[in-house]
Homo-oligomer: A and B are copies of this chain.
Amino acid sequence: MAIPNIPSEGLKFLALGGLGEIGLNMSLFEYGDDIIIIDCGLMFPEPYMLGIDMVIPDISYLRERSDRIRGILLTHGHEDHIGALPYILREFNPPIYGTALTLGLVKEKLKEYDLDTKTDLRVVKPRGKVELGENFEVEFIRVAHSIVDGCALAIRTPEGVVIHTGDFKLDQTPVDGELTDLATFARYGEEGVLALMADSTNVEREGYTLSERLVGDAFEEIFPRCEGRVIVAAFSSNVHRVQQVVWAAEKTGRKILLNGRSMIANVQIARELGYLKIPDGLLIDLKELPRLEKSEICMITTGSQGEPMSSLTRIAMDDHKQIKLEEGDTVILSSRFIPGNEKTIADLMNHLYRRGAEVIHEKVSEVHVSGHASQEELKLLHNLVRPLYFVPVHGEYRHLVKHAQLAQKVGLPKERTILAVNGDVVVFSGLEACIADHVETGRVFVDGKGVGDVGNVVLKDRKHLSEDGMVVVIIGINQGSGEIIYGPDIVSRGFVFEDESQQYLDEAKKVVLDTLALVNPEVMTDWSEVKLEVRRVLRRFFNKTIERRPVILPLILEM
């Protein structure tokens, strides 16, 4: 692939993922010989990506410029910002900059891939600055979000300062007291900012996003009236959420059982780094459960999305050895219903109710708040930073459009809001800016150990297989005489229930035989025509008799 022709002058901004989609956040700035990367996230597979484990950005663009990469800057430790690192670090290994918790989570992840000792992780504190190459100086700016230790970035370049917010909200009463550092945003605003790139996730929401502290208030209102066990399901990375559960449990005399691999790992990391305070005596393990009254138990667990293999789902299905729910038990789903998971979560709740438990969730109580800024917060930020240009980031296309409209509402001229998507190369030069070029970007599918070997052909086959299954037709032919010496035999999977449909499959065999009878074996040299014909007649037969369209695989074996 030829290197695309991109103007060599000026500051370039380019997203390899995350612009026009949720997840896969990875973008880069380029000036002269220097490239810096912001975040390196994955995307969880969408429903049509059958069998795919995760999606990572296509980094072809970087591959050809890897000697110019000066570092990867991480805004925070969520999977959609750090999850693709292990795959990218296999190819090039620049220093990685982030706050202590962010890098703590990265390190844990790299251990799984045996990359932790080979990677140069450099902790930066909020208001700390790092230089990258000749052309970049980056200051980390504290922001509040649904994970602790998140930061925005102020990137000083020869063309001016660019502010990239990462994921943020303006929580006025954050659990750890670490406010979004508006003073620093204001300082840059006073100095003059070339461009602002800001989180668009919640741009459709009016008003302000509620403070994380309100969730703690909800816990403190709910816990005292729970007679039985309390089970709180939350994302393991939401350290403040866990902290507030701990406080509520402590106040109501409950011990805490941690559950779920990532919950246990993340709590340990956060405790070690001082972001989470749990008195030693408060934590118990499974074998201590029987010694406690139900009213002395609080479980903090993963599985809030109804993941089929999670122990919360097993508990709900009454399939957990140590925990049998009863009337009086309470389950709090303290997380967002991620779009696409609504049905699975509803099933989880129905099963919990069948066990007799009461279920509390975000739709009926303040047991979850978002980590992303709503419209009024975004307006405040725009007014504080007052950039020359605005590029909405972190959102699906409609979010980017809405965020551009919001910027215009607070006074930015339309021609200075730049609506870029993945691959668009935004060039800033001498206070001018435009989308100057477009490079190929894409999504790489990870399926097991295979990275990128599953493409659209394979996915299309999986989709087809999933709908009507597969029918294999085997015919053995004598290579010399062309006589049928085996079959036709028909084997199917996912098509009809074979035990009850033998007669039907026998009819299908007859259809194949009728087709073969028309073939004169003596003049037959190319059996691929016959294959096509067998597929055609069977497709017609199945469509007419049963209205199904299985994948049909005719195997004609010349022996």
A residues sitting closer than 8 Å to B (CB atoms) are 20, 46-47, 50-51, 204, 339-340, 342-343, 346, 349-354, 359, 363-364, 396-398, 401, 447-450, 453-455, 457-459, 461-470, 472, 474, 476, 485-487, 489, 491, 493-497, 500-501, 545-548, 551, 553, 555, 557, 559
Contact = CB atoms under 8 A, between A and B. Distances in A.
26 contacts: A47-B343, A51-B466, A51-B467, A51-B468, A51-B494, A339-B342, A342-B342, A346-B396, A349-B398, A350-B396, A447-B468, A448-B547, A453-B500, A453-B501, A458-B496, A459-B494, A461-B494, A464-B494, A465-B494, A470-B470, A474-B557, A476-B557, A486-B557, A489-B557, A491-B555, A559-B559
A395 to B, nearest CB: 10
A485 to B, nearest CB: 6
Contacts of A51: 466-469, 494, 548
B465 A463 contact: no
Given A350-B398, A545-B449, A559-B486, A470 B474 contact: no
A46 B458 contact: no
A339 B346 contact: yes
Contacts of A349: 398
A466 B457 contact: no
Contacts of A464: 493-494
Nearest to A548: B448
Contacts of A354: 397
A401 B353 contact: yes
A511 B111 CA distance: 32
Contacts of A465: 462, 465-466, 469-470, 493-494
Contact of A458 (B50, B396, B489, B495): B495
Contacts of A485: 559
B50 A496 contact: no
A472 B469 contact: no
A454 B496 CA distance: 6
A350 B20 contact: yes
Contacts of A342: 339-340, 342
Contact of A350 (B339, B397, B453, B495): B397
Give this chain's copy count: 2
- Chain B CB count within 10 A is highest, among A449, A465, A467, A559, for A465
A462 B453 contact: no
Nearest to A463: B466
Contacts of A463: 466
Contacts of A557: 474, 476, 486-487, 489, 557
Contacts of A553: 472, 491, 493
A110 to B, nearest CB: 19
Contact of A469 (B363, B458, B555): B458
Report which residue of A352, A401, A557 has the largest number of chain B beta carbons within 10 angstroms of its beta carbon. Answer: A557
A458 B47 contact: no
Contacts of A339: 342-343, 346
A284 to B, nearest CB: 30
A47 B47 contact: yes
A506 to B, nearest CB: 15
Q: Which 5 A-B pairs have the closest CB atoms?
A: A448-B547, A466-B466, A461-B494, A51-B467, A465-B465
Contacts of A545: 449
Among A50, A500, A551, the one with the most B-chain Cβ atoms within 10 Å of its Cβ is A50
Contact of A494 (B204, B458, B501): B458
A495 B448 CA distance: 11
Contacts of A458: 469, 494-497
Nearest to A559: B486
Given A46-B343, A466-B465, A466-B466, A448 B398 contact: no
Contacts of A474: 474, 555, 557
A217 to B, nearest CB: 19
B453 A496 contact: yes
A364 B204 contact: yes
